[in-house]
Structure 1
Amino acid sequence: MKGLVLAAGKGTRLRPLTYTRPKPVIRVAGKPIIHYAIENLLEAGVDRVGIVVSPATMTDVSAACNGLGDSLGITIEYIVQQEPQGLAHAVAVARDWLAGDDFVLYLGDNLFGRGIRPFVTAFNESRPQGVVALARVADPRQFGVAEVEDGEIRRLVEKPEVPPSDLAVAGVYVFTPEIHEVIAGLEPSDRGEYEITDAIQGLIDRGGRVMGLPIEGWWKDTGRAEDLLDANRLLLGGIARRVDGEVSDSRLVGRVVIEAGARVTGSTVIGPALIAAGSLVENAFVGPFTSVGPEAEVRNSEVEYSIIADRAVVDGVETRLQECVIGVGARVASRRGLPKAHRLVLGDESRVEIG
């Protein structure tokens, strides 16, 4: 069985963060989102992974995954989709690479708290034409929605105005090669895309059996800044205390990770929190559910429940920053007294002065 990870999308819902880098490479709890997908595939028994990229995302995705295959002992290959035209189109582009094998289709910006092994196991044990991960959501209109009877999907509708259920199609699917023939006969949807929900419905209409399996634990489609922060919270909630970096004149409380090469001086860090390699926390307060990325700096400031990305700088912000996503290379500085609170979502390389 192979794994097909999709990382060609534009991530428009997460702009401005995605103007300069694709969503799957954004770090959450210290790692690019796509790393969790590849690790979950390996844990489920998949050791050959194809990543579908666009010309615009190829450089960033390949850089984020550089060396990952060797460290995990898996093969990673890249398949270029010249223009994203839907999930089913991505599968069609990868058809030659898939070469008639069963495969897991994994959306590269999705996170699963307990991995994906149950979906692969159900597929291998029952041998249906497909297994689809399902999650109950408050507003199904933003998702593909399934009608399920006795564990099997009877009907799928893509982003319906009047949803037939609250069961959303989540970001993992397992298919036999039969899906390729269905995709080959698809017409574009009203959105102009080749929908994977239409392909699954085509399997069902042909008499194929498609299982709908509820997700165990939490699931995050990281489409908004709020989703990134919540995923960061959930993942940091599972870390164990580890101090490999340099700590001086500081207080570390609870489950705190200080990676090798990081420096914490004159500061308080309350876990769960992660301070990545090469970063600096100086005369600062870092509160729970905060991750500070590689080579980032937090100086003379207070921050909690936030993501500070690679090379970002927070300097001299006197009032605590909360629920912030600070992009790669961004800088937040203060020149004088501040209002009581600030909430920021900054794109990469941006600059903000709060006065």
Structure 2
Amino acid sequence: MRALLLSAGYATRLYPLTLNQPKALLSVAGKPILDYLMDKLFELSSLDEIYVVTNHKFYGHFVEWKHRYTEEALVKFPIVVLDDGSTTEENRLGAIGDIQFTIERMQLQDDLIVLASDNLFCASLTSFVSEAKRKNSPLLGVYNLKDKQLASKYGVVSFDANGKLSYFEEKPQNPPTSWVAMALYFFPKSILSLVKTYLREQKNTDQPGRFIQWLYPQMDVYVWELTGLWFDIGSKETLEAANLAFQ
């Protein structure tokens, strides 16, 4: 099993903090956001390799981060930093484009965990991986915001008693539930080729939830419920809230 951390965005909403610093390397309670995610991934005994895909502008930042992190942490398996070649918000590949870039660049033929590097949470991913192996189907991390108005800013989901996804819509005006999709996915190796199919058929290369929205009418997709704290760090307000919570 492999893991991919999506880190190629330019985070313009966080300017000037992210003008010359990638969002994933911003500090929360004295520690880069990416370190928290790596710590979660290193708990997974079945993981063989981690990829961090970034843009050309911030590639050097992540190479430096990797050297520091591998020296400080007891690294169990390889970390590969990938440069997707983009240089601006206008020519970026988008999250789904970066997933396909990684699949092709690394010639992936293995199960894949995909995680956006601006997710910050407390729960362990061990039960996520256990559920993914048990279902052997695409698996989506979900979280209950308990506020439909707030949920309208995310991909909103519904699912049945068995955890099978029955509804997914990106940023609906009138959400039917307060359950939302996190940028946390498990893709069995058997479906990796469908990312290329999606990109050929659809125009939106960003928002990986769009791939799930396209996928779930075609096959069974299941959800995994995250409990505890979760921060989607897209603004200075959420960054400050995460700092307070993690201190």
5 Å matches for 1:157-306?
A: 157-186=169-198, 187-189=201-203, 192-206=204-218, 208-236=219-247
Structure (1 or 2) with the greater helix fraction: 2
Do residues 92 (structure 1) and 100 (structure 2) align?
yes
Identity %: 25
CA spacing shift, 1:86–1:159, aligned 2, 3 Å: farther
Inter-partner Cα distance in structure 1 for 2:107 and 2:74: 21
Q: Which has the higher contact order (CA 8 A, sep 6+)?
A: 2
Native 8 Å contact 1:24 1:61 kept in 2: no
Q: Match for 2:117: what amino acid?
A: G
Counterpart pick for 1:80 among 71, 83, 97: 83
Q: Which whole-Å CA distance do the structure 2 matches of 1:98 and 1:120 have between them? A: 22
Structure 1 unaligned spans of 5+: 237-355
- Pairwise CA RMSD: 1.9
Counterpart CA distance in 2 for 1:202 and 1:100 is 22
Specify the code of the residue in structure 2 equivalent to 1:125: R
Compare the two structures and name the one with the higher strand fraction.
1
1:117 aligns with 2:126: yes
State the TM-score, normalizing by the size of structure 1.
0.61
* CA shift for structure 1 position 77: 0.4
Per the TM alignment, residue 69 of structure 1 is displaced from its structure 2 partner at its CA by: 3.1
Contact kept in structure 2, 1:179 and 1:203, CA below 8 Å = no
Paired residue type of 1:2: R
Query: Structure 1 residues 218, 105: closer, same or farther in 2, change over 3 A?
Result: same
Q: How many Å separate the matches in 2 of 1:4 and 1:215?
A: 19
Q: Is the 8 A contact 2:59 2:82 kept in 1?
A: no
DSSP 3-state at the match of 1:44: coil
1:15 aligns with 2:15: yes
Distance in 1 (alpha carbons) for counterparts of 2:17 and 2:220: 40
- Cα deviation for residue 178 of structure 1 reads 3.4
Give the Cα separation in 1 of the matches to 2:191 and 2:155.
17
Residue aligning to 1:132:
140
Match of 2:89 in 1: none
Aligned residues: 232
CA distance in 2, matches of 1:222, 1:175: 24
Using the TM superposition, give the Cα deviation of residue 106 of structure 1 relative to its aligned residue in structure 2, in angstroms. Answer: 0.9
SS at match of 1:178: helix
Q: Identify which range, 143-152 or 173-182, moves more after superposition.
A: 173-182
User: Which secondary structure state, in structure 2, belongs to the residue aligned with residue 142 of structure 1?
Assistant: coil
Cα distance in 1 for partners of 2:35, 2:181 equals 22
CA distance in 2 between partners of 1:93 and 1:112 (Å): 27
Deviations 1:142-198 (A, max 9, x none): 211212112111232122223232111113111112333322122445xx4344223
DSSP-derived class of the 2:56 partner: coil
Larger radius of gyration: 1
- How far, CA to CA, are the matches of 1:224 and 1:193 in structure 2? 22
Aligned equivalents of 2:172 and 2:190: distance in 1? 26
Asked if structure 2 preserves the Cα contact closer than 8 Å seen for 1:7 and 1:57, the reply is no
Instruction: Name the SS for the 2:9 alignment partner.
Output: coil
Distance in 1, matches of 2:172 and 2:95, equals: 17
Paired residue type of 1:57: F
Distance 2:48 2:32 in 1: 19
Q: What is the one-letter code of the residue matched to 1:49? A: I
1: distance between equivalents of 2:207 and 2:7? 16
CA distance in 2, matches of 1:123, 1:188: 26
